[in-house]
Structure 1
Amino acid sequence: AAFGLAANTLQVVDFTAKLLSAGQQIFKDGSTVQSAELELVANDLKVLTSRLKLRTRPDPNVLGPIAQNTQDLAHESEKIAQELIDILSTIRVKGETLRCRCLLHAIKTMWNKEKIEETVRRLETIRGELQSRISISAKEENLLALDEATQNIVKSLLENRSDVTAAIAAHADDIVREYRASEVASSRRHKQLLYAISKTKDWTVEPDDLLRWIKANLHYQRIHDRFDDIVKAHQETFSWILEEDQDCRFNQGPKMLEWLREGSRIYWTTGKAGSGKSTLLKNLHQDPRLAKALQSWARAENCTLIILSFYFWNAGIDLQKSQEGLLRSLLLQAPSEQPLLGPILFPEQFEFGARLTEFPTFHDLRRAFKRLTDNLPDTFRIALLIDGLDEFDATHVTISELADIFIAATKSPNVKALLSSRPLPAFEASFGDRPKLHLHELTQADITAYVDAELSRHPRILELFDDDPEGITALIAEIVDAAAGVFLWVKLVVRSLLEGLHNYDLMPDLRERLTALPRDLEDLFRHMLRNIPPNYKAQSSRIFQIHSTNEMHDYTFGYVSLTPLGLYFAEMDVSALMKAEVVPLSALERERRRKEVEGRLKSRCAGLLEFRSRAGNLQTHLPMAQLIVYLHRTVADFLKLDEVWDGILDCTRGGKFDPHLSLLQSLIMRSNARKRARQLGLSKGPIRTPLQDLWRLVSSAMQYARLSEGLTKTAHLEVLDELDRAMTSHFNVAQERFEHNPSS
């Protein structure tokens, strides 16, 4: 109401002011006004005044201060307008043919000059105040359309009050509470509906379908990644461990082959970091001689053998380093090997009317594992292969308690476990009296064979051997002695020597290289970082940050691992993103980019990051892919050290680099480069297709956009526009395909 009143009053004021100004102009120019024109003027002013009178009728409600002031201005304007109307009427009644020298002359007969000038100034003042009132009234009327909490915030802003932050925070809390309450209510209704369906008498599930459902809920992303990431052993490395005629390396107790065939409970493989424990266990797992030896143990009692494995990975996601992840993996494998175990391990889920909405809880897992190790029929024998006990996350369960889990599990004569870890005191205390081997003390011959084979691949070594055979032999022996059984150290040293051979180093040069390399792994890693050329330091820092950020978030955002092509796109200039076409890359182009990234990792990151082939996920049809991973778990641990990571970050401090933005850019480019929808399969079942992976890229991109904006306080709208452009292109193609083939 106040807004309308002010607007009408402003019309009257403008009209009156123009009338006075026109009269002044008439007086100045000596023009005349026809009586018909004066009548038109008078009538127009009457209409405006009548509107004003309607707006100024007394309001039954109490007026606010702004509305009251507006009404006072309206009365003042009405008074001035009425006086002018009376003057105009006087002029009109003297006759239609009467001419006046000017309108101002008629007004002057009733008002003196000072009165007119005063009225003009008053009208200008009223005009300014009304414009202000109209603005405020518009705000007030819009404010009334808002909810009470939002009104309080807007009023605080308008009045420049100091409690605006508190008002906004309180309103945000209200919104969050309302959203959570709504979400909880929806979730409750959903569970009630599922429970009601499960109780329906006509509702039945086939046992095979139920087992598939149980296995699907036990499965998790990255369940096989650690196994895939373990480097394959070199040629015949560790093959001796399952040979019939084993040498005197085993002087610490029963030989492993004997334990596999006849032993019980626990066999512990231990060794220094980087000595090859994980590689050994992976080799054993894949060696048919292991299964054959364990079959001897199982068949002695006419039992069915089940081999279950798990590889802890401290640098991975929670489920790769926790008790829950261990149990879910083992309990998934058991019914996959023997479907008859499903109802034995999970009888609650096979009961009629069982609730299926919260499976698996941690209690479900513990009960099932106890049944696996304690309550299985005597017709089964279980062999556990567990690697990396020292990589277990001991946040909720101590390392000693983890050891106790396996000690308790292997009390049954039908269960035994081959375990692997570093020689931590807790494991020494728990497994010290069990059959064991210290791997780093048994690999001298393997390391010698590895060094000899790797160096012999380079033609320069043969030339040097011809010149100085004794020198080459001594060099290899020095490497083996300095390694102290740590295969990882040997791998890095051989890599440095091969670089020297490529540079045509002579024997003294090679020996100098070897002498310069620290014997401790961490010291060696520091040496490698220091030797990165200065002009590569900033780029090295960016790559490490991109990889670390991706490792931190990829599982949370839907598991988008960093591929060679993904890193290539992350390093692109943003201007290239703006020019990029939404077209798939050819196989030739992909291979070219892959080689570029491989070379850059070697030169910029000192080989601490490398490519590793990882098998496609069991729940997708995607083939094996190359991913960027740490050279070894010790590298991941090393880079997490505060002083090391701070040194890496120093190389980009003061700039505008944000790894989240780089990964956002990478995901957009990966979306651009993917095959079009007409080339992709659409899901008709639980198996994820490439088209769904495309949406997964988009979801992750939006998450990185959110994180980047939170850190930089900048919304990267132009980058997100490129994502919109890419997805619009894919959507148009998918829509065209659907229109031509709706059943696809």
Structure 2
Amino acid sequence: MHMVEYGGVFVTTAWKIWSSQTDSQLVKDFDQLQYLTQDFKNILGSLEQDDPASSSTEALPDRNRDLLKLGAESRKICEEILGSLNKIGNSTETRAKKRKAIQTAFKLTWNKAYIAELQTKLDHVRSQLTLQLVHSLRSDAAKSQETQQEILGKIAQDTEHLTKRVDLALDFGLGTASVDFITQNLGGRRRWQVKESLKSAILGALYEPERDENAIQPTTFNVPSRRSQTLKEKVLSKLAYPDMLLREQSVVEAHHNTLHWIFQREKEQDRPWASFCQWLEESDKQLYWITGKAGSGKSTLMKFISQPPASGSPSTLPEGSDNQPRCAPFLRRWAGNQPLLIASFYFWAVGSPMQRSREGMLRTLLHELLKQAESEMIASVMPESWEALYLFDEDPRPYSDAMLQHMMSRALQFMSTSNKICIFIDGLDEFQGGHGDLLEFFRAALNVHRIKMCISSRPWQIFEDAFQNKPSLRLQDLTLPDVKAYVESTLHPDPAFALLRALEPSFADDLVDNIATKADGVFLWVCLVVASLQKGIKAGDRVSDLQRRLDQLPPELEALFERMLDGLDPEYLDHAMQYFQLMEASLSISPPNVMVFSYADEEDEAFAINFPVSPIDQRILENVRDMLKKRLNSRSMGLLEITEQLSTSTNVLVNASRCRVRYLHRTVLDYIASADVKERLRVRLNRVLHQRFDPHLRLCSAQLAFYKSSLAHNAHALDSNLDHVEELEFTKKALSSCLFHAAQVQGTGLPSMIRLIDALDAVYSKSLVRSHHQRALQLATASAHGINRVMSHLAYQKASSSRERLFRSLIIRHEVVEYIRAKTQPRRWPTPPANGTRKLFWLSKRVFARERDQDLARDVTALPDLDWQLYDAVMAVSPCLPMIQLLLEKGADTQYEYEFKNFSTEKGTLWEITLAAFMIVFHEEPQLDGARAQVVRLMVRHWAPINRGSITKALQIARSLRQMDKYRSKPFCAAIEHHLKMMKEEA
């Protein structure tokens, strides 16, 4: 491995000598080669000790023979390089020659083909070394626990960095211990860099989709039970996401004495729906569809079916089943002697993006299923993750939608053979995406696996077509008795209604019947109408007044919403419109908590800037919640409400974050979001707001204030030696949300936004003085760089050198383009002449300016502001094209050279690194409209050079990052060059 490390340095330096432009740089490069001479002598001496020719290898295992052969190949390469170094001469002789003579002599010994051939050999050794390490680690992991501890014990004896507590070393993984051992002779920063790149290479091999059939499988790993449980918790933690159970917990509980009919066994002729009990118990029917109008209570019914009864509630279930889902006793008749697994997911159109996505559904279902399974099942369902966790105690690869779908298929495949699985999915109509694709996924799962699935949705045509021959029920046809029960139990305890009932008993009874009939099964309509009637009853309305009120209320929900808002005072309607805009602006993140919403209701622009860095008091939280509840009722007429997620925490920050403002129902969002409704309300106000209301600016301010409070909670937890992981998550979310809303601000709100972000910068930088933020600093920065994990150290090096630069990196990652526009000065290039030599003059001056600063550019921390900001923008997981275009227009240079470590030292300009990233993406999916292709196109427009040298270097970087040879084919290279020329012509 050391040969590959130093060989890579040799190749990089050789290429630089070929293209060196200055005498001083050329001498430095030759000095670098001289320094390598002793390194290669040491490596050669070590390799000669393991010469396979000196002993018989027939009795050795195959993998040991392969390693010896690899050693022999490395020895030959080392001799070849050392021989060439001896030909060059010493540093004194080099300095006595002129640059041209030096280059000519070097090129006679090392032509381009020779260097490229050496690179190929190094790539091969690197690739084979990685495969051998992977095979060795897998083999060791499959051995007994005693043998694994013996292996770690031997490593511990020779590795000063590895703890002597072998049991603790096992917690960090065999892979971690092995990489420590392999790199122990490297020093300082280089050791850390090579460790990271070696670990990245091994993880890359573990993640390869085309797994060798003869390879040792993770299911055979001998994992201690305690460690196995720890790995399971890590997998579940990675699958989980914020507010994963919020929707299910916030669904309204079924009212007392309602919905029990779903588990009753009526005669078929008396039942206008397919028996749900029968479906649960029988094995020949897999899917059941619950449909109904908007607001008819589908989610409440799904929750009623799939959750245990509340304590003290009546039950029609068999005795002893109170602590299990209501459906479980019936499903057990289907399951027989096999274990029963139940999982559920609730799509939520007004929740966070994850709560209305396929990814959210897959994560939740996998989490619920694997939580109920044995730890070893994870090794079958997600072998790559299990392997990475066991060997390195981390699984850095993010889960894509395709990966999650594959994991779900494997979960159903392996778990359904020994378990019976029933899945409940609510609100298909609230899914944000292609419903056809989602239905096809369900159809495929049901065709392949013997599972049950209960699905609810509105009666849209696409669902009617998909489920027309399946057992089903239409909810509004079945809930008349439930509606009456709800109205009676709500009105009868009211003293004012009891008095009315005593005076007018027949009218009171008729009123209940009239409400139930007019509701037509829509529970949401019933709730709103009963609340309206209660106001009249409490106000002493006469019988005729109440009847008139009921008659005037429209039976459709949208018309009812319109009537409610029409009854508002114009000032309150103005305020209600602001509230609705705040909610709409929050849709891309998540519903705001009560503190954030209350802060966003402040009109003072300097509110958040002057807000103190102090914790939230429980009493303040309760006062804010109660006051906001009154405002929401009076301004929105109850169309917005506060919901509190179940929590046993005594942490005020946690409780504040789980107390959210949300729409009463998804139908409210649909109504308010309608362009016709917005226009009608604007006309009714008959004026423009006294000042422009920008909801994103208000929310940016609110999140800044909440961020300050969360920082204070973090500091308190740290000073008290308390676990503050949860506080850090809330702090990180507040910071991210503040920057998200800042990026959406436009027009006249921009000066205010810039002042808010300046204030955020000040408090953020001050918080970084505390050492406990350093790990968060590294994670925040590394997560912004997604091309390859081995490059994340470069981002950390740059960011950690300056708190100002770290904050600017976060600004770029969150795409706050206008802040960068205001805060970044353009580069002052020399003014070109007005004649036809303009372009040539401009480019030559730019090259001279670049050479002047090039030594600084070796250290990324010393890069000019424009250039490292462009690096940040380009290396983001999802590059922001407007940000990149802005920085290029301000003069950011694509030709600065960066250094990073993989197995060997790699150097390349940002243009070459960008081109390499495009090649990697293009090879996997040859499209020219993707983000990476657009970045390349922008750079081409700003004079990025299109030549064989750049393409060759980019190919070299691509191969190095992926440790693969697949980027060598001539057709692939020709295609890349062709597309680049087309981009240049377009520019």
Report the Cα offset of residue 285 of structure 1.
1.4
Helix, strand or coil at the partner of 1:418? strand
Give the equivalent residue in structure 2 for 1:704: 741
Give the equivalent residue in structure 2 for 1:537: 573
Change (3 A) 1:260 1:225: same
Report the Cα offset of residue 403 of structure 1.
3.0
Helix, strand or coil at the partner of 1:714? helix
2:252, 2:300 within 8 Å by CA — same for their partners in 1?
Answer: yes
Change (3 A) 1:333 1:630: same
Helix, strand or coil at the partner of 2:654? coil
Match for 2:410 among 349, 355, 371?
371
Q: How do 1:33-48 residues align onto structure 2 when only pairs under 5 Å count?
A: none
2:596, 2:706 within 8 Å by CA — same for their partners in 1?
Answer: yes
Give the equivalent residue in structure 2 for 1:519: 555
- Tell me how far apart the structure 1 counterparts of residues 484 and 269 of structure 2 sit (CA, whole Å): 15
Superimposed CA distance per residue, residues 214-254 of structure 1 (whole angstroms, 9 cap, x where no aligned partner): 333333333222212211221222123224x5588962354
Report the Cα offset of residue 567 of structure 1.
2.0
**Bigger-Rg structure (1/2):** 1
Match for 1:260 among 266, 280, 283?
280
Helix, strand or coil at the partner of 2:447? coil
- Tell me how far apart the structure 1 counterparts of residues 694 and 515 of structure 2 sit (CA, whole Å): 41
2:476, 2:521 within 8 Å by CA — same for their partners in 1?
Answer: yes
1:383, 1:415 within 8 Å by CA — same for their partners in 2?
Answer: yes
What RMSD over aligned residues (CA atoms) do the two structures have, in Å? 3.7
Helix, strand or coil at the partner of 1:309? strand
- Tell me how far apart the structure 1 counterparts of residues 403 and 607 of structure 2 sit (CA, whole Å): 52
Match for 1:383 among 402, 422, 438?
422
Report the Cα offset of residue 496 of structure 1.
0.6
Match for 2:357 among 315, 322, 326?
322
- Tell me how far apart the structure 2 counterparts of residues 465 and 247 of structure 1 sit (CA, whole Å): 37
Confirm whether residue 309 of structure 1 aligns to residue 344 of structure 2.
yes
Confirm whether residue 597 of structure 1 aligns to residue 634 of structure 2.
no
Superimposed CA distance per residue, residues 489-514 of structure 1 (whole angstroms, 9 cap, x where no aligned partner): 10110111111122221211111111
Confirm whether residue 335 of structure 1 aligns to residue 370 of structure 2.
yes
- Tell me how far apart the structure 1 counterparts of residues 398 and 387 of structure 2 sit (CA, whole Å): 14
Confirm whether residue 446 of structure 1 aligns to residue 451 of structure 2.
no
Helix, strand or coil at the partner of 1:713? helix
Change (3 A) 1:349 1:266: same
Superimposed CA distance per residue, residues 185-237 of structure 1 (whole angstroms, 9 cap, x where no aligned partner): xxx99995543354899x99965554444333333333222212211221222
Give the equivalent residue in structure 2 for 1:227: 248
Confirm whether residue 195 of structure 1 aligns to residue 200 of structure 2.
yes
Superimposed CA distance per residue, residues 275-326 of structure 1 (whole angstroms, 9 cap, x where no aligned partner): 101110011111333122212221x2x2111111111223334433333332
Report the Cα offset of residue 443 of structure 1.
0.5
The residue type paired with residue 383 of structure 1 is: C
Give the equivalent residue in structure 1 for 2:82: none
Give the equivalent residue in structure 1 for 2:661: 628
The residue type paired with residue 558 of structure 2 is: E
Confirm whether residue 457 of structure 1 aligns to residue 493 of structure 2.
yes
Give the equivalent residue in structure 2 for 1:406: 442
The residue type paired with residue 520 of structure 1 is: E
Confirm whether residue 693 of structure 1 aligns to residue 730 of structure 2.
yes
Helix, strand or coil at the partner of 1:316? coil
Superimposed CA distance per residue, residues 491-549 of structure 1 (whole angstroms, 9 cap, x where no aligned partner): 11011111112222121111111111111111111111211111212111111111221
Change (3 A) 1:340 1:406: same
Helix, strand or coil at the partner of 1:562? coil
Superimposed CA distance per residue, residues 551-604 of structure 1 (whole angstroms, 9 cap, x where no aligned partner): 23x35xxxxx41223222212231655665444443333322221111111111
- Tell me how far apart the structure 1 counterparts of residues 399 and 607 of structure 2 sit (CA, whole Å): 47
Helix, strand or coil at the partner of 2:425? strand
Give the equivalent residue in structure 2 for 1:297: 334
Match for 1:565 among 582, 595, 603?
595
Give the equivalent residue in structure 1 for 2:306: 285
The worse-fitting range, judged by mean Cα deviation, of 220-229 and 478-487 is: 220-229
The residue type paired with residue 239 of structure 1 is: H
Change (3 A) 1:461 1:729: farther
The residue type paired with residue 562 of structure 1 is: P
- Tell me how far apart the structure 2 counterparts of residues 429 and 328 of structure 1 sit (CA, whole Å): 28
The residue type paired with residue 271 of structure 1 is: G
Match for 1:613 among 639, 644, 650?
644
The worse-fitting range, judged by mean Cα deviation, of 422-431 and 461-470 is: 422-431
The residue type paired with residue 388 of structure 1 is: G
Change (3 A) 1:722 1:506: farther
1:677, 1:730 within 8 Å by CA — same for their partners in 2?
Answer: no
Change (3 A) 1:617 1:267: farther
- Tell me how far apart the structure 2 counterparts of residues 506 and 580 of structure 1 sit (CA, whole Å): 51
1:265, 1:411 within 8 Å by CA — same for their partners in 2?
Answer: no
TM-score, normalised relative to structure 2: 0.50
- Tell me how far apart the structure 2 counterparts of residues 577 and 227 of structure 1 sit (CA, whole Å): 33
Report the Cα offset of residue 349 of structure 1.
3.7
The residue type paired with residue 601 of structure 2 is: E
The residue type paired with residue 380 of structure 2 is: I
- Tell me how far apart the structure 1 counterparts of residues 238 and 729 of structure 2 sit (CA, whole Å): 20
Give the equivalent residue in structure 2 for 1:426: 462
Match for 1:347 among 383, 389, 396?
383
- Tell me how far apart the structure 2 counterparts of residues 457 and 379 of structure 1 sit (CA, whole Å): 51
Give the equivalent residue in structure 2 for 1:33: none
Match for 1:638 among 671, 676, 688?
671
Q: Structure 2 stretches of 5 or more lacking a match?
A: 1-192, 207-217, 309-323, 775-987
2:483, 2:526 within 8 Å by CA — same for their partners in 1?
Answer: yes
- Tell me how far apart the structure 2 counterparts of residues 736 and 221 of structure 1 sit (CA, whole Å): 23
Change (3 A) 1:408 1:683: farther
Helix, strand or coil at the partner of 2:423? strand
- Tell me how far apart the structure 2 counterparts of residues 313 and 617 of structure 1 sit (CA, whole Å): 24
- Tell me how far apart the structure 2 counterparts of residues 534 and 383 of structure 1 sit (CA, whole Å): 51
Change (3 A) 1:242 1:683: farther
- Tell me how far apart the structure 1 counterparts of residues 343 and 724 of structure 2 sit (CA, whole Å): 25
The worse-fitting range, judged by mean Cα deviation, of 502-511 and 386-395 is: 386-395
- Tell me how far apart the structure 1 counterparts of residues 694 and 204 of structure 2 sit (CA, whole Å): 53
- Tell me how far apart the structure 2 counterparts of residues 417 and 250 of structure 1 sit (CA, whole Å): 25
The residue type paired with residue 362 of structure 1 is: D
Q: Structure 1 stretches of 5 or more lacking a match?
A: 1-187, 556-560, 739-744
Give the equivalent residue in structure 2 for 1:416: 452
The residue type paired with residue 622 of structure 2 is: E
Give the equivalent residue in structure 2 for 1:508: 544
Give the equivalent residue in structure 2 for 1:217: 238
Give the equivalent residue in structure 1 for 2:883: none
- Identity, in percent, stands at 30
Confirm whether residue 494 of structure 1 aligns to residue 530 of structure 2.
yes
- Tell me how far apart the structure 1 counterparts of residues 734 and 229 of structure 2 sit (CA, whole Å): 33
- Tell me how far apart the structure 1 counterparts of residues 701 and 587 of structure 2 sit (CA, whole Å): 17
Report the Cα offset of residue 701 of structure 1.
2.5
